[in-house]
Amino acid sequence: MSNCSDHNSCVDSAMKEAENICSKNNLRFTDIRKTVLKIIWESHKPIKAYDILDKITGMEFSAKPPTVYRALEFLLENGLVHKINSLNSFIGCPHPLQHDQCYFIICSACDEIEECCDESISDVIKSVMKKNKFLHKNIAIEINGTCQNCLESK
């Protein structure tokens, strides 16, 4: 996400893509689901659930916390957003439903997150799980360190 020069247009295209995915899969993209997704994309950085709640409380639109959590759940289940466990935050997926798992690199200096999805990572995991006779469901890979920008500005 650090590479987007015009964040408004990247929010717009994420919303349009979500709209398409929902209509293709017969999912109801309700107002609250839209609002939550938009807040996540607009934040540009990973955002915590209570910050999402905060923003919604500031809107005219009244939604109780359980409604907001259900909307988040929906977005997660349908691959539109990801949870970053190490930051206990949420971030929009730039390429929803293109593969099973997304992997992340997180800069601890500027908090930028990039997806570093790569089939070779998935292949290694599959073969290791096979060796362990384990049927995996969720995989969370979050690598933190320093991004190029921060390295250069040191």
Q: Where are any strands of DSSP class E within the chain?
A: 81-84, 89-92, 104-107, 113-115, 142-145
Q: Measure the CA–CA gap between 15 and 138, rounded to whole angstroms.
A: 25
Q: Measure the CA–CA gap between 30 and 147, rounded to whole angstroms.
A: 36
Smallest separation (angstroms) from Zn ion to the CB of 61: 27
* Residue closer to Zn ion (CB basis): 67 or 122: 122
* Residue closer to Zn ion (CB basis): 53 or 75: 75
* Residue closer to Zn ion (CB basis): 125 or 150: 150
Residue 119: both structure tokens together:
């089939």
Smallest separation (angstroms) from Zn ion to the CB of 134: 22
Contact residues for Zn ion, defined by CB under 5 A = 93, 102, 107, 109-110, 115, 117, 147, 150
Smallest separation (angstroms) from Zn ion to the CB of 154: 10
Question: How crowded is residue 117: how many other Cβ atoms within 10 Å of its Cβ?
Answer: 18
